[in-house]
Amino acid sequence: MIIITKSDYLYSSDLYHMVTEEVKINTKCSDCPDKSCATAVLSSKEMDSIFRNRFISEVRKGTNIVNEGSPTSYIIYLRSGLVKEFVQMPDTQEQILQIIIPHSYLGLTSIFGDKVNHYSYKALTDLRLCYIDINVFTALLKNNVDFAFEIMTSIGRENLNNFHRFINQSHKKSYGRIADVLIYFSKVIFLTSKFQIPLTRQEIAEMVGISRESAGRIFSKFRTEGIIEIQGRNITINDMKKLEKISRYG
Q: Are 3 and 23 in contact (CB under 8 A)?
A: yes
CATH number of 2-165: 2.60.120.10
**How confident is the model over 70-117, as pLDDT tens digits?**
888 889 999 999 999 999 887 767 889 899 999 999 978 777 777 788
Q: Are 225 and 178 in contact (CB under 8 A)?
A: no
Neighbours of 227 (CB within 10 A): 19
Least confidently predicted of 24-38, 45-59, 233-247: 24-38
Range(s) for CATH 1.10.10.10 in the chain?
172-249
Q: What pLDDT does 17 receive?
A: 40
The pTM score is 0.82
Q: Is 182 exposed, middle or buried (0-12, 13-18, 19+ CB in 10 A)?
A: buried
Q: Are 98 and 198 in contact (CB under 8 A)?
A: no
**C-alpha distances in angstroms, 128 versus 41, 50, 110, 208?**
22, 17, 21, 28
CATH number of 172-249: 1.10.10.10
For the four alpha carbons of 202, 211, 182 and 107, in that order, the dihedral sign comes to negative
**How confident is the model over 183-242, as pLDDT tens digits?**
999 999 999 999 999 999 999 998 998 999 999 999 999 999 999 999 999 999 999 999
Range(s) for CATH 2.60.120.10 in the chain?
2-165
**How confident is the model over 70-80, as pLDDT tens digits?**
888 889 999 99
Q: Are 50 and 136 in contact (CB under 8 A)?
A: yes
